[in-house]
């Protein structure tokens, strides 16, 4: 009985650890029609993503559309955590963003905050130099962990995998507590059948350039409408396939991720950019969001946490059995 109890405890702990990774969506401060989200808009969005099984949102800004002023109280009420964003371009905007973040920390504390990303794809666009961005990361970290009172909150940056593996940007890696990497096999022209491999090649390349820092997914997704891109076809079935293949491996490897995005964006540029949501709107999902692991050579699907935990159970049980006097 003690043997079985020990093995079952190991199974439960393993399942819990698989499910412990941060999983959520990267979202803007605007509604689908382009209007700024109010506190009630944020609250509805957060309660919806929680009903889908997600508990974290990554934001791009702190001051734009009063992002944090409206989102933080809604997050605290809903039990949702936030990865805050601070735009790094334009010195005046950067300072306004910093002050909005500091104000939110001083007013609401830091229990809602899982981290801060200074900038998003700035290196990819060439908007700032690596040296300047590194300085801004140090600046924000000092503010957040000093007068902001969030002494253990990590601060990093979000960029494309191609920017992270570029050795000329190593100064930003050094300055960051973590790396958020954006990877889109669709934009790499990948056929859906090879999209998973394309994505994780990009992720693993970023890990190799990360100087041992944690690497999380800042954005990934697949469009359901708009033009095809080389061998990449936009469509709902393709999104479902991508969600299950990439999402399952992110889950099984315990990789923190923010999917792009939760809902479609009618105010975005016409075509593909309007169609990256896993839902048409908060009331209408496009796909099945359960993360299932399809056993190779089998037609049965097993939830990721249970599948991995059961393997661990068998291993622990075998080891304990082998060490028990017969």
Helix, strand or coil, per DSSP, at residue 25: strand
Residue 209 lies in a domain: yes
How many CB atoms within 10 Å of residue 132?
17
User: According to the model, what pLDDT value does residue 305 have?
Assistant: 45
Local confidence band at 22 (pLDDT 50, 70, 90 cut-offs): confident
State how many domains the chain has: 1
- Identify the pLDDT of residue 325: 57
> Would you tell me the crossing angle of helices 39-51 and 67-78 to the nearest 10 degrees?
40
Q: Is the pLDDT of residue 312 over 50?
A: no
| Gap between the Cα atoms of 187 and 185, Å rounded | 5
Residue 75's alpha-carbon distances to 10, 16, 64, 220, 259, in angstroms, are: 33, 23, 17, 23, 18
Question: Is 45 marked active-site?
Answer: no
Is residue 53 assigned to a domain?
yes
Question: How much of the chain exceeds pLDDT 70, in percent?
Answer: 83
Q: Is residue 13 part of a domain?
A: no
Domain harbouring 262, CATH code:
3.20.20.80
Sign of CA dihedral 108, 111, 112, 117: positive
pLDDT on residue 146:
98
**pLDDT grade for 266, boundaries at 50, 70 and 90:** very high
What is the residue range of 228's domain?
Answer: 21-287
Give the confidence band of 21 by pLDDT, cuts at 50, 70, 90: confident
Residue 125 in any domain: the answer is: yes
Q: Which residues pair with 232 in a beta bridge?
A: 229
What confidence score (pLDDT) does residue 20 get?
53
What is the pTM (predicted TM-score) of this model? Answer: 0.85
Give Cα 56 distance to the centre of its chain: 8
Catalytic residue check, 121: yes
pLDDT of residue 272: 97
176-233 per-position pLDDT tens digit: 999 999 999 999 999 999 999 999 999 999 999 999 999 999 999 999 999 999 999 9
pLDDT at 158 over 90: yes
Q: Is residue 249 part of a domain?
A: yes
Comparing 314 with 78, the larger pLDDT belongs to 78
* Given 45, 97, 219, 238, the catalytic residue: 219
Q: What is the pLDDT of residues 241-254, one digit of tens each?
A: 999 999 999 999 99
Q: Is the pLDDT of residue 4 over 50?
A: no
Give the pLDDT of residue 308.
42
Residue 278 lies in a domain: yes
Over 60: is that where the pLDDT of 142 sits? yes
In the chain, % of residues over pLDDT 90: 82
The answer to whether 156 and 179 are in contact (CB under 8 A) is yes
pLDDT band for 324, please (50, 70, 90 cuts): low
Does a structural domain hold residue 246?
Answer: yes
Contact 258, 58 (CB under 8 A): yes
Is residue 305 included in any domain, yes or no? no
pLDDT tens for each residue of 273-305:
999 999 999 999 999 999 744 433 333 343 444
Task: Write down the catalytic residue from 121, 249, 273, 301.
Answer: 121
Cβ-based burial of 212 (10 A; exposed 0-12, middle 13-18, buried ≥19) = exposed
d(CA 261, CA 60): 12
């Amino acid at each position: 009985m003690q043997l079985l109890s020990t093995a079952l405890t190991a199974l439960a702990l393993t399942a819990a650890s698989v499910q412990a990774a941060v999983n959520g969506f990267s979202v803007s401060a605007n509604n689908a029609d382009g209007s700024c989200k109010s506190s009630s808009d944020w609250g509805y969005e957060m309660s919806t993503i929680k009903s889908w099984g997600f508990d974290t949102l990554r934001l791009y800004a702190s001051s734009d559309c009063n992002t944090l002023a409206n989102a933080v109280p809604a997050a605290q009420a809903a039990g949702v955590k936030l990865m805050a964003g601070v735009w790094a371009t334009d010195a005046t905007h950067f300072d306004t963003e910093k002050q909005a973040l500091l104000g939110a920390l001083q007013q609401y504390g830091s229990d809602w905050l899982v981290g801060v990303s200074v900038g998003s794809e700035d290196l990819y666009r060439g908007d700032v130099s690596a040296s300047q961005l590194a300085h801004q990361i140090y600046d924000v970290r000092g503010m957040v962990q000093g007068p902001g009172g969030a002494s253990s909150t990590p601060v990093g940056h979000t960029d494309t995998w191609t920017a992270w593996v570029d050795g000329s940007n190593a100064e930003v890696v050094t300055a960051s507590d973590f790396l958020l990497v954006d990877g889109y096999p669709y934009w790499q022209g990948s056929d859906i059948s090879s999209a998973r491999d394309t994505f994780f090649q990009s992720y693993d390349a970023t890990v190799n350039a990360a100087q041992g820092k944690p690497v999380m997914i800042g954005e990934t997704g697949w469009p359901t409408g708009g033009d095809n891109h080389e061998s990449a076809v936009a469509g709902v079935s393709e999104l479902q396939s991508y969600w299950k293949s990439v999402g399952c491996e992110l889950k099984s490897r315990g990789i923190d991720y923010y999917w792009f995005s939760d809902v479609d964006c009618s105010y975005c540029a016409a075509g593909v950019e309007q169609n990256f949501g896993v839902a048409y709107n908060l009331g209408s999902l496009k796909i099945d969001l359960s993360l299932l692991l399809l056993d190779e050579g089998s037609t049965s699907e097993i939830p990721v946490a249970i599948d991995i935990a059961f393997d661990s159970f068998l291993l622990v049980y075998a080891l304990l059995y082998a060490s028990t006097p017969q």
